[in-house]
Amino acid sequence: MRKVFLIIVLSSLSSGCAVLVSNAASSFSSDLAASVLNQDDPELVRDGLPTLMLTMDSMIEGSSDNPQLLAAGASLYATYGAVFVSGEERSMKLTGRARGYGLRAMCETYEPSCVWPNVTYDEFVATLDGIGSKDADILFSYGLASLAYLRARSSSWDTVAEFPLIQALFDHYLNISGDAVNSSVYTYMGIMHSLRPPTLGGEPELAREFFEKAIVESSGHDLNAKLEYAKGYAKLMYERELHDRLLNEVLDADPNQNGFVLTNVMAQKEAATLLAEADDYF
């Protein structure tokens, strides 16, 4: 499960930057987001993000009730804590801050969300109904931060219990986001519906629909969607032909697609590893 949540956060780096871009009307933020997403050196991004995170902290300190700033901070800390940090204790600390920022962003936007950490599943779902399309981006950022937070604590049973809440959150996001939907959410939903085999209540065919939707919505430019399709569905269902076809398509594709370069480069590295290990699995 730790690996699953790592990929979820990695593939959502673009959504985190999208929230950052939406803050004020800053051309600097827009240019910065584009440069990160189109960077083909993951190590450079890893080394550079802490400076941006500290800058975001200082901006939040000066505007602690700004939901856009809080959401941007949540996305940045979630990305760094889950993708670029290897130590479990440090990852837990950073993703904890991510979720804290995300909850504050939601609380400033929608008061009933302030008690989310202490509610039951039914209570949580009931409060989602009050969140409309204008707050979809804030909800998305809270979901991203929550996934990173849970991934860092994947050994705890509390993670298993909270997982359905995050799935319900993204279901609601899909309902309210309309044409502005972030296509990465379809990949997340595919992963969440393929975590368990059918014998344990999983819905792999629904997962397949979400993965294929993610590929279509990104016009095939988001290679991580195909990578997760191979890992989450093809391996689960022991479909070797589909598994190898998807991974070879990832490797053969041009990673230099605007807005996806960073995640595509990382997806290709993992695709090569998975193909090399396929004979041992199937």
pLDDT digits (tens, 9 = 90+) for 22-73: 444 345 555 666 677 788 888 888 888 898 889 889 888 888 888 888 988 8
Q: Are residues 272 and 282 in the same domain?
A: yes
Q: Which domain holds residue 257?
A: 183-282
Q: Are residues 47 and 106 in the same domain?
A: yes
Helix 136-152 to helix 184-193 angle, to the nearest 10 degrees? 40
Q: Are residues 147 and 160 in the same domain?
A: yes
pLDDT score, position 234: 95
Q: Are residues 57 and 175 in the same domain?
A: yes
Question: How many Å apart are CA 35 and CA 225, to the nearest integer?
Answer: 21
Question: How many Å apart are CA 255 and CA 251, to the nearest integer?
Answer: 9
pLDDT score, position 214: 92
Q: Are residues 130 and 249 in the same domain?
A: no
Judge contact between 15 and 184, C-beta under 8 A: yes
Spans of the chain, pLDDT less than 70: 1-34, 154-160, 196-197, 200-201
* Six-digit token string for 213: 């939707």
pTM above 0.85, yes or no: no
Q: Are residues 144 and 33 in the same domain?
A: yes
Q: Are residues 158 and 196 in the same domain?
A: no
How many domains does the chain divide into? 2
Question: How many Å apart are CA 20 and CA 130, to the nearest integer?
Answer: 24
Cα 243 to chain centroid, rounded: 22
pLDDT score, position 155: 64
